[in-house]
Chain A
């Protein structure tokens, strides 16, 4: 028992060392610098993933702690600070509060990193939308359209769209084997005759792989896949790409399916209807000065009229809708709202206030000593 207690004490003493915090902070600063510089070549999202969201960052062949691991180390180190017996005194209360604020800030960052999502909502004037499309991730949607009053969606996330992956589900009476996932591609007309195995779009086209662009939204992902075990003539090799004008449809054993490669969708518990989109340009230019969307927020049959404009987003049910962009059409305009769900949104505000209180408390206790020392110095 004593031996176990000694082990536990050893671990606590190891984890609460201030030098861990100092080294981790120094490394974090280095990562911030490297990540900021890397954005130029890698693009914002890739640099974020490599330096800040990663557990391990590879420098050539050397694995080093990534931002996520470094911040976890800081969080653990700060948490173990509370095992110091000497801090539980009124004189140290300011420092304790300061550490609590720091921990809260890191917990908020963790929640944001793990659970927040961002995307956009595109709504044409007069239309409604209840889903957000992710900026970065794709999904393969297989829609069973056989029923007369509803469509049944089976969605495979991008994480599953890897070469040689087999996709199957109880809703589907066939299997899909991923032959290739292309991060960026362009369809090109087939110059040689298609094989008997080529079906759908691949009878007339091929998908040429392109080098991925820095920013995900500049890419056009594509997928080459094989349908098998359908027990029908639908078995064969197919291709699909983002924004394909005509969706791939299949009729297998009396069921009709539509396959779409699209940006990952998150459905919201409410809808937004775009009533009017307004845009003001700087005089004599095509540079927007301001734009705004007059919308109806429709929830449980209740309609609420709201104006979303630049720097005045709509916040509802944890989602924030920013006026991001627009699309001009021949007859109507379309608004593009950037949508962010951030569970840790309030943490930085709360933790900053707590840290300020901690610092003020600490300062108020130290000030008399400082004044006394100053007076003694003058007297001497």
Chain B
């Protein structure tokens, strides 16, 4: 009986050792532009809100106000930005009114529509054409990156509040997010 037990233990020990591997590895690779830490965007998930989007992997869902369709904490190198998605009926007010409201929140003077349009950049995404504007107040070290996305009889407003460095760092991810917004069926 003892021999049977010893043989069984030896067999198990051998089999267990088969799965062991070296846990430290070293290698050299040719220089790359930068370590690959680009945040990955997840696959679109249909939300119960009537819209779907692809959330970047490092964005953290946060609890916003009831006005908000979605809220995220957006980490960057020296802070966390606050991103909100708000849905309003119709056009949700004119571009001029909305942009100047955001400018006032940053203690900046209002601009005319022509001045605003010069700063707006057009993009194309899941909801069709949309516009993005960047508003920075260097004195306050505060900035907004805002997108206005017409969606049929409604308009979505995506606003990221961060400092100017943060806005610069997460701008491409912000655009990816806005482009991924679409109507869910």
- A: residues with CB less than 8 A from B are 7, 10-11, 14, 55, 69, 72, 76, 114, 122, 141, 143, 145, 147-157, 159-160, 169, 171, 186-189, 204-205, 220, 241-247, 258, 260, 262, 267, 284-287, 325-330, 334, 336
Contact = CB atoms under 8 A, between A and B. Distances in A.
A7 B3 contact: yes
A81 to B, nearest CB: 17
Given A148-B31, A258-B35, 15 more contacts: A7-B3, A11-B3, A14-B4, A155-B26, A160-B24, A188-B73, A244-B58, A245-B58, A246-B37, A262-B36, A287-B185, A327-B42, A328-B44, A328-B126, A330-B125
A153 B29 contact: yes
Contact of A187 (B32, B75, B178, B179): B75
B24 A286 contact: no
Interface string B53-83: 0100110100000000000010111111000
Given A243-B40, A328-B126, A153 B26 contact: yes
Contact of B26 (A145, A152, A327): A152
A203 to B, nearest CB: 9
A114 B18 contact: yes
Size bracket, chain B contacts: 35 or more
Interface string B89-130: 000000000000000000000000000000000010110000
A286 B80 contact: no
B35 A160 contact: no
A286 B185 contact: yes
A364 B42 CA distance: 56
B80 A155 contact: no
A245 B170 contact: yes
B57 A243 contact: yes
A11 B26 contact: no
B43 interface: yes
B175 interface: yes
B19 interface: yes
Contacts of B79: 189, 204
A208 to B, nearest CB: 10
Nearest to B179: A330
A141 B60 CA distance: 24
B30 A330 contact: no
Interface string B154-171: 000000000000000110
A155 B25 contact: yes
A243 B58 contact: yes
- B interface, over-half SS: mixed
B176 A328 contact: yes
A352 B42 CA distance: 39
8 contacts: A149-B30, A150-B28, A151-B28, A152-B28, A169-B24, A245-B39, A286-B184, A327-B42
B146 to A, nearest CB: 16
B24 A155 contact: yes
Interface of B: 3-4, 7, 11-12, 15-16, 18-19, 23-32, 35-37, 39-44, 46, 52, 54, 57-58, 60, 73, 75-80, 123, 125-126, 169-170, 172, 175-176, 178-180, 182-185
Contact of B39 (A7, A141, A243): A243
B154 to A, nearest CB: 16
Given A189-B79, A243-B57, A149 B23 contact: no
Contacts of B15: 72
Given A244-B37, A245-B58, A328-B54, A150 B30 contact: yes
Contacts of B23: 156-157, 159-160
Contact of B179 (A220, A267, A329): A329
B75 A169 contact: no
Nearest to B170: A245
A184 to B, nearest CB: 11
A245 B35 contact: no
B31 A151 contact: yes
Residue with the greatest number of chain B CB neighbours at <10 A, chosen from A155, A157, A245, A327: A245
Contacts of B169: 245-246
A106 to B, nearest CB: 12
A341 B36 CA distance: 23
A7 B3 CA distance: 8
A154 B37 contact: no
Nearest to B43: A325
A11 B24 contact: no
A189 B37 contact: no
B30 A244 contact: no
A285 B80 CA distance: 34
Given A156-B23, A157-B23, A204 B78 contact: yes
A127 to B, nearest CB: 10
A171 B24 CA distance: 11
Given A328-B54, A329-B176, A149 B31 contact: yes
